[in-house]
A and B are shown apart, each in its own frame.
Chain A
Amino acid sequence: MSEVVENEKTGALAGMAADWSSDQRAFKGVPWHKAMMWVFLLSDTFIFACFLISYMKVRITTTVPWPSSSEVFALTINGHHIPLLLIAIMTFILITSSGTMAMAVRFGYQKNKKMTGLLLVFTALLGASFVGMQAFEWSKLIFEEGVRPWGNPMGAEQFGAVFFMVTGFHGFHVSVGVIFLIITAVKVLRGSYDNETPGFMTGRKGNYEIVESMGLYWHFVDLVWVFIFAFFYLW
């Protein structure tokens, strides 16, 4: 690691040129699985961008009024009609889980087994509750509001197609994230990263940097929700 050049603001461009033209390794000081996680997230960004851009396009092209998401996703509690309530709660849950994940990564840097494991478990629980609320939201929309991928009683037919496609794909990402959070938490808590035990599909030694890659994925899932929330639910 002796070739790592200080990344001063003034020399950032020169440093980048040196990094990219250097032998063996362009991303200095970055574990390989972290660089690969970033590349995967970049490709995932393009997938979600394609969904959101197609949503933009069907919404621009349709001549039928778009259903008001504020009304569609409103909940009535104790006689109070509150717009988008469930979605707001889901947003706050995901933000909370992002915070616990960031903390888990921080304690992972310090190789603090107990705190990292606990925070990962807590993040997984929050993620699972998010998926649960999404299941509630889907069943409410399907069984009570009569929303289908090919039509709905409120307006433009494409509303259902976009909703199930975008939130379904995001919910799938959250579910996969919860599974991997549990796997990572188990590995942390049983000491696989302290003892550098290899994983079951690889001969490479386990280490706490894996927590950081896990964190990148989880923050990305939250990031996608920020855009879905803004463009699908609020716009």
Chain B
Amino acid sequence: MSEVEGQQHPISVYFWVWGLLFVFSAGSYAVDYMALQGNLRWTLILVFMFLKSGFIIAIFMHMVWERLAMVAAILVPMGCLLVFIGLMALEGDYTNLTRDTFFSPAPFVPVEHAVQH
């Protein structure tokens, strides 16, 4: 039974992915080392992050070789997180707006109708 349930993959697959993970890690560190800013920085961070996590899940955790029943049971529930992230980002922006409006030190406004003595 254990012979049936085990998986056999050529060792080169592991070495390739291992090497790629090093390249992606170096890439994401280079983003900070070269002090890239703005949209380019955020895009590159996300690209390297998804590449790394994708290869780890797919190859090292053997997800590409699992049956769809298993893959779906693990990956589909994570979709809830996208909704959660979206909701919290929306509400976060609103909270930030109200804090800026009501809790930041009031700018100095000259009083126009001050009583003259």
Binding site for B on A (CB under 8 A): 1, 4, 7, 12-13, 15-16, 19-20, 26-31, 35, 38-39, 41-42, 45-46, 49, 53-54, 56-57, 60-63, 70, 82-84, 88, 91-92, 95, 98-99, 101-103, 106, 109-110, 207-209, 212, 215-216, 219-220, 222-223, 226-227, 229-230, 233-235
- One of B45, B61, B93, B96 near A216 (C-beta < 8 A): B61
Chain B residues with CB below 8 A from A95, complex form: 18, 21-22, 25
Binding site for A on B (CB under 8 A): 1-2, 4-9, 11, 14, 17-18, 21-22, 25, 28-29, 31-33, 35, 41-42, 45-46, 48-49, 52-53, 56-57, 59-62, 66-70, 72-74, 77-78, 81, 84-85, 88-89, 91-93, 95-96, 99-100, 103-104
* Contact indicator A56/B89 (Cβ below 8 Å): yes
Knowing A29-B4, A83-B33, A229-B28, the reply to whether A60 touches B53 (Cβ < 8 A) is no
- Distance in angstroms from A52 CB to nearest chain B CB is 9
Across the A-B interface, give the 10 residue pairs with the lowest CB-CB distance, nearest first.
Answer: A60-B92, A19-B69, A230-B49, A99-B18, A16-B68, A61-B95, A109-B6, A12-B68, A88-B29, A57-B92
Chain A residues with CB below 8 A from B60, complex form: 98, 101-102, 215, 219
- Distance in angstroms from A41 CB to nearest chain B CB is 8
Knowing A42-B78, A45-B78, A63-B99, the reply to whether A57 touches B68 (Cβ < 8 A) is no
* Contact indicator B67/A226 (Cβ below 8 Å): no
- Distance in angstroms from A168 CB to nearest chain B CB is 21
Q: Bound state CA distance, A41 and B63, in angstroms?
A: 13
Chain A residues with CB below 8 A from B4, complex form: 1, 4, 29
Q: Bound state CA distance, A208 and B29, in angstroms?
A: 36
Q: Bound state CA distance, A28 and B1, in angstroms?
A: 12
* Contact indicator B1/A1 (Cβ below 8 Å): yes
Nearest residue, chain A, Cβ from B96: A61
* Contact indicator B45/A60 (Cβ below 8 Å): no
* Contact indicator B45/A230 (Cβ below 8 Å): yes
Q: Bound state CA distance, A15 and B91, in angstroms?
A: 41
* Contact indicator A19/B67 (Cβ below 8 Å): yes
* Contact indicator A227/B32 (Cβ below 8 Å): no
Nearest residue, chain B, Cβ from A54: B88
Nearest residue, chain A, Cβ from B53: A226
Chain A residues with CB below 8 A from B62, complex form: 212
Nearest residue, chain B, Cβ from A229: B28
- Distance in angstroms from A135 CB to nearest chain B CB is 22
Q: Bound state CA distance, A158 and B69, in angstroms?
A: 41
* Contact indicator A38/B14 (Cβ below 8 Å): no
Q: List 6 A-B contacts (CB under 8 A).
A: A27-B70, A30-B66, A30-B67, A70-B35, A106-B11, A219-B61
Chain A residues with CB below 8 A from B21, complex form: 95, 98-99
- Distance in angstroms from B11 CB to nearest chain A CB is 7
* Contact indicator B100/A26 (Cβ below 8 Å): no
- One of A15, A56, A102, A216 near B69 (C-beta < 8 A): A15
- Distance in angstroms from B52 CB to nearest chain A CB is 5
